[in-house]
Amino acid sequence: MKNKLSFKPVLSVLLLVISISAISKAQDMTPPKPVESSYFDKWVGTWVGENVYDGLKGKQSLTAAWDLNHQFLVINVTGTIDNNPDFKYKGTGYYTIDNNGKYIGYWFDVFGFGSITQSNGKISRNKMEGSVTAKGYTGTEWAEFKSDNEVEMNTKGTYEYNGQKIPSENNVTYRKK
């Protein structure tokens, strides 16, 4: 009579371990609670604005909404320059609050890979202020609510191009639609 080794107990234990591991992993994959920010909540909606970018006047439209399980405030901007009707700007930003209560954001726009920016800083009541960096650019930004229906923004920095430092500034005032 031959010794028959049964794989049933080994297989059962292996399946049990895999099941427990899968359940544990699934619990680890539970998204965090929604981000809470009364400042970001004020942005939700549609806004129209007038801006001055390096001396050029223009108009912008902005929409903001929470997305991805209320983890990111997503901002979409379109814009034109008054004296160049062929120019059409479009950009999208994702902003959130980190574990230390500071904001962090990433901006993507029609200028492609080279203009992807990262911003981070602090929020205090009605104002957000921090730093902005991109390839060849360093600067600061702030946005302050003057009322629930009006917000002023400013970015100011320096581009480095062919060894030269070129200052840049953008000011915009948005009003809620």
The answer to whether the beta carbons of residues 56 and 33 sit under 8 Å apart is no
pLDDT tens series, the chain, 177 aa: 555 556 566 666 666 667 666 665 656 778 888 999 999 999 999 999 999 999 999 999 999 999 999 999 999 999 999 999 899 999 999 999 998 999 999 999 999 988 899 999 999 999 999 999 999 999 999 999 999 999 999 999 999 989 999 999 999 999 999
In sequence order, the β-bridge partners of residue 115 are: none
Residue 49 covered by a domain: yes
Residue 139 covered by a domain: yes
Task: State which residues form the domain around 149.
Answer: 38-176
Indicate the pTM of the whole model.
0.81
Structural domains in the chain (count): 1
| DSSP per-residue codes, 20-69 | HHHHHHHHHTPPPPPP--HHHHHH-EEEEEEEEETTEEEEEEEEEEEETT
